[in-house]
Amino acid sequence: DAKTTQPPSMDCAEGRAANLPCNHSTISGNEYVYWYRQIHSQGPQYIIHGLKNNETNEMASLIITEDRKSSTLILPHATLRDTAVYYCIVRVDRSGGSNYKLTFGKGTLLTVNP
């Protein structure tokens, strides 16, 4: 699975949009981009994933560049409870094969300030 590069930390003001970048320049055509976050002392939580198109759900939006070499997770209105480590992961979807081996990097510590 391709490696990802994320900034180690970011700050965001409460109520503002948080834009978390991720570089995955070696991504392959069959690799999805997944985002998870981990709030202190809890297990990681799934946020969103995508292949080529931009995606949106109740938690966030995922913007993937046309060449798929990078993506941005957008939390539209960050709250204090969004303070967490955010992981960007690329993962192969192997039909008929295991695809639950996730390779977590260091992630980005997002701190939402009041």
> Distance from CA of residue 79 to its chain's centroid?
17
Q: In whole angstroms, what is the distance from residue 62 CA to residue 77 CA?
A: 14
Binding segment toward other proteins, per CB under 8 A, in 6-14, 21-29, 45-53, 74-82:
45-53
Query: Which of residues 32, 59, 63, 74 is near other proteins by CB under 8 A?
Result: 32
Q: In whole angstroms, what is the distance from residue 85 CA to residue 81 CA?
A: 12
Strand, coil or helix: what is 64?
A: strand
Closer to other proteins by Cβ: residue 11 or 93: 93
CB of 54 to other proteins, least distance (A): 16
Q: How many residues comprise the chain?
A: 114
Q: Is 42 in the site for other proteins (CB under 8 A)?
A: yes
Query: Could you tell me if 9 and 113 are in contact, meaning their C-beta atoms sit under 8 angstroms apart?
Result: no
CB of 3 to other proteins, least distance (A): 13
Q: Is 5 in the site for other proteins (CB under 8 A)?
A: no
**Binding residues vs other proteins (CB under 8 A):** 32, 34, 36, 42-46, 49, 87, 91, 93-107
